[in-house]
Amino acid sequence: MPKYDEKKQVVAVALVTALCLLGDSMLYIVLPLYWQEAGLNSLFEVGILLSANRLVRIPLGPLIGKWYERSGVRTGLVIAVALALVTTAGYALHGFWIWLVMRCLWGIAWTFLRLGAYSLIIAVSQEQNRGQLMGLYNGLYRLGSLGGMVAGALLVASIGLQYTSLLFAGLVLPALILIFACIRPQSCTEGRELLGRMEAKTSLWSKEGVLVTLLTGLLIAMVYQGVFASTLSRLIELRQPLTTIGGIVVGAAVMASILQGARWGWEPWAAPWFGRLSDTYGRKRMLVATMLIAAILFGMIYAPVSFGWLMVVLLGIQWTATVLTTLTDTWAADVAARQANSTAMMTHYSVVTDVGAAIGPLLAFWLDESFGLGLLYLGVALVMLLLALMWLRIRESRTPAVRMDNAS
What tens digit of pLDDT does each residue of 336-372 get?
887 766 777 888 898 899 888 878 877 887 887 778 8
| pLDDT in the model for residue 33 | 73
| pLDDT in the model for residue 358 | 79
| pLDDT in the model for residue 166 | 95
Distances (CA, A) of 303 to 239, 298, 318: 11, 10, 18
How far does Cα 67 stand from its chain's mean position? 21
d(CA 111, CA 76): 10
Judge if pTM exceeds 0.85.
no
What tens digit of pLDDT does each residue of 58-79 get?
888 888 888 887 888 889 999 9
| pLDDT in the model for residue 390 | 92
d(CA 99, CA 76): 23
d(CA 318, CA 293): 12
DSSP 9: H
Question: What are the phi and psi torsion angles at 242 (to 5°)?
Answer: -125, 140
| pLDDT in the model for residue 184 | 81
User: Hey, which of 22-31, 257-266, 308-317 has the most confident mean pLDDT?
Assistant: 308-317
- With bands split at pLDDT 50, 70 and 90, how would you rate the model's confidence at 87? very high
Cβ(233)–Cβ(28) below 8 Å: no
What tens digit of pLDDT does each residue of 192-242 get?
443 343 344 444 444 557 888 999 999 999 999 888 887 787 788 777 766
d(CA 224, CA 260): 11
What tens digit of pLDDT does each residue of 281-316 get?
888 999 999 999 999 999 998 888 888 888 999 999
d(CA 156, CA 22): 13
Q: Which of 321, 22, 53 is nearest to 149 (CA)?
A: 22
What domains, with CATH codes, occur in the chain?
6-187 (1.20.1250.20), 204-391 (1.20.1250.20)
